[in-house]
Amino acid sequence: MKTGSGTIKGSRSGIYARKSGTGDLTVTTGAGTVTGGVYGIDARNKGQGSVVIETGAGMVTGNSVDGIFAYNTRFVAVGDNVTVTTGTGAVQGQRNGIRADNWGTGFIDIATTGDVTSNASAAIYALNSGANSTDITVKTGPGTVQGSTRGIDARNFGQGSIKITTGGGVTGNADEGIYARSVNAGDIGITVASTGTVTSLGPHGDDFAVASTGASTTLIVSGTLKGGGGGAVEFDQTNAYNDRLELRPGFQITTNGAAGAKNTVLAGDGTDTLAFGGTGEDTFDLGDIDDGTNTKQFRSFETFRVESGTWSFSGTTTEAFSQTGGTMKGTGTFGGLTVTNGTLAPGNSIGTMTVNGNFTLGSGSIFEVEVNAAGQSDKVLVRSGGSVNLTGSVLRVMAQNGNYNPTTDYTIIDNDGADAVTGTFSSVTSNFAFLTPSVNYKAGDGNDVVLTMVRKTTGGGGNTGGGTTGSGGTSGSGGTTGGSPSGGGTSSGGTSGGGTSGGAPTYVSFCSVAQTRNQCNVAHALDAFPTSNPLFGSVLTQTVAGARQAFNALSGEVHATVAGTLVDDSRYVREAVLGRLMQAGHSGEALSASGPQMATYDSGAMMLGGADLYDGKSLVEVPASAPLAFWTRAFGAWGDFDRNGNAASAGRDLGGFVSGMDAQLFGTWRVGVATGASFSNVSVDDRYSGADVDSYHLGGYAGGMVGPLALRGGGMWTWNEIETSRAVLFPNFYERQKADYDAGTGQIFGEIAYPTQVASIGVEPFAGLAYVSVDSDGIRERGGPQASLRGSSFDQDVGYTTVGLRAAKTLSWGDTEITPHLSAAWLHAFDGVTPGASLAFATTGLGFEVTGVPLAQDSALLDAGVDFAISDKLSAGVSYSGQYADTVADNAVKGRLTWLFN
């Protein structure tokens, strides 16, 4: 049967369902409430099949017995399963909130979402009474389960197991929070999830948060247990079952807070295991493990094992531990320790772990040791005459940031016993890029394990002994470095040492870990430093990641990138001059809007779009009528230059102006001079670098008509004052470096165009050439003593071609003439798109080449704007200009003003 959102109320049962014969008995409720004077829902199967009850959002109440009663036949060989699933609605009963009795051959499965409560007994009672019945499974969700006696009471007289999982609160007001009994020795499994809390409020000595009897029990605790008068956990105390308590990160085992409540965990008489598993990290105090006095929290466990997760141990125990997975950390003291798999990492950061007994690192285990530049390291103290066995294990050395002395010794196993160390590490690794651990297994009093950090080599030549050249030295961790009579290679075919010494060892180069050309160039220079140089030592003791960061930080890449931006910025000066020449050549026409001057006005001139002629000539041939013109163009730009796998990305902000004066010459030609200033900021954030550039421009230009073609050209020189600043930052190193120097930018440029009109729109296809050259003074950084750079002048030469089309149309708006205009072009750069600089370290003079972020090889130029005539002598305009390429995005806003004099 199935109910909806209405209210159901009965004097005995809100819903009573009984079935005989075959088939399942199913009851489903929705959002409506169900209330009965005895049972809320009473479902009884007297025949074959299962009982299935599903409730929804509505509350179910049984006022004198059970909220939900699910009963399967007493005919043992006939009945099947009992399944109860509740929704968000609460279930409340006087005796039990939910009671499931199965006398058949199947299982009981109870899953709750909302609250389940009872006033006289257990909130959830699951009973498999049939001798052939199977499992009991109870799973609670976020709702509260609270019983007058027990929260959950599960008893299995059949052949199956009991599995209980809690996701919310489960409370027993007078007895256990969870009680599980297995009569025929089916296993019991109880899981308290991270969101679960199981509490006993019972005050008596037999009241526990969790209690089990009759079978081996596995209890997994990721959540919270709050013990009652007896404690937190009690496994079977009569029979010798093998019980297991697994603690997972986030667990808490405490009391209910009442006077006399306990947090003790009582294992049984079998071989019981306290295991540490799960994922994530947690801590454990070994002092909570009972020492036979029955006064501590965890009692009667025989086996202690770390299986997964990361566990940090403190305190002391006399018990021996094993590790089969996960990570063990901390400063705890153990009665013995055997690691067959997983990672042992003493300390929390750097610290000491103690083993009062045998210490074994087996195959599959990793011994992870932290070291620092002060000579401190993680270590294990082996005491009480314990033995040390390292056969098959791996040593992994983790270096903290610092300026290391490469010959520092670190005692990582301190053994007070008399026996020699058994076995060696199968491999030794570290996170140093250029240092490797060398291990001595007979240090101290003959059986301590000591590591020393030595420079990595690729192996040197061996000795010549008895006329036969010895083999090469062994490279890598723990090997004997070739290159000396006592250590390089083994003698062969004669007496040892009878010949000459082999070659010197070859050290692993700094460049071997570099990922870019700039990094490698810097690394090669550093490789040639004296080993006593402080900067050399700072790099030598880096990790791979730290070394790469160091190479980038030391490169001075910003100097090369600035050279590239100076070349790129020259475009704005060039465009301003060419724009003025184009404007002057189209006085009174729409195409003049592309220049600093708006369309000039003369009493006889016609605006583009008319069909009339002026002086018998086409409009595009109208001469510039003003004998003298002053103009100015202001611009502001912001751009990004993307990294190229070598140099870092750069950003550039630019603002400036160009002003000029020109006069009419030879009829249609104009000749003028231009000057201006611009100010830019270059940022290379990934290199913690930047530059401020103040630029001052001066040049000349000329342009005119040759038949139907317009010729325009000019030359400009720019004085650039550059101030750079960079933070040289990598692990355990910081300096601030600054430099001031000058650079000059020279450029010559020309353009040929064919102005015409199409459908009353002025159009002009054009092509241009430009040559730009940047040359700087020498670079001398000032700042910290170790990383400052010197550089000879850098230079960069780039040629450009431009091909494009301009269009404009002049419109009347009342008494004002406005001209929208558009230009699109392809800009191609020849050679020189990757700027470079030759630099050297000031302390040693050792140099390297570095390149900056490249300019775009090919890009699209777009210019769009609108101009307007203020009067016949004064015009203004504003436009947007953009440069677009795969690796460059540059945007600018331009404004201009022109004043004509007759």
So what's the pLDDT on residue 460?
47
Structure tokens at 92: 């409340």
Nearest to 1 by CA among 43, 40, 61, 37: 43
Side chain identity, residue 370: E
Distance spanning both ends of the chain, measured CA to CA: 103
So what's the pLDDT on residue 490?
37
Structure tokens at 407: 């010959």
Query: Any bridge partners for residue 891, and if so which?
Result: 638, 882
Strands (E), 259-349: 265-266, 273-276, 281-285, 298-299, 303-306, 310-314, 320-323, 327-330, 333-334, 336-339, 342-346
The domain spans of the chain are 1-160, 459-507, 553-901
Domain 553-901's class?
mainly beta
pTM equals: 0.75
Mean pLDDT by 10-residue block, N- to C-terminus, for the chain (902 residues)? 84 94 92 97 92 97 98 71 97 98 92 98 95 93 98 95 98 98 92 98 97 97 98 96 98 97 96 98 98 95 98 98 98 98 96 98 96 94 96 94 81 94 95 92 93 81 39 37 35 39 75 97 97 92 94 98 96 94 65 40 27 28 60 92 95 96 88 98 98 98 94 98 98 96 98 92 95 96 96 92 93 82 95 93 97 95 87 81 89 76 58
CB 224 within 8 A of CB 249: no
Q: Exposed, middle or buried: residue 401 (CB in 10 Å: 0-12, 13-18, 19+)?
A: middle
- The DSSP result for 836-847, as a single string, is EEEEEETTT--E
Position of tokens 């004669």?
A: 494
CA distance 99 to 372: 63
So what's the pLDDT on residue 509?
96
Q: What is the dihedral of CA 172, 176, 181, 187, to 10 degrees?
A: 100
CA distance 271 to 243: 7
Rg (CA), the chain: 44
By residue count, the chain amounts to: 902
So what's the pLDDT on residue 626?
61
Position of tokens 């690691």?
A: 339
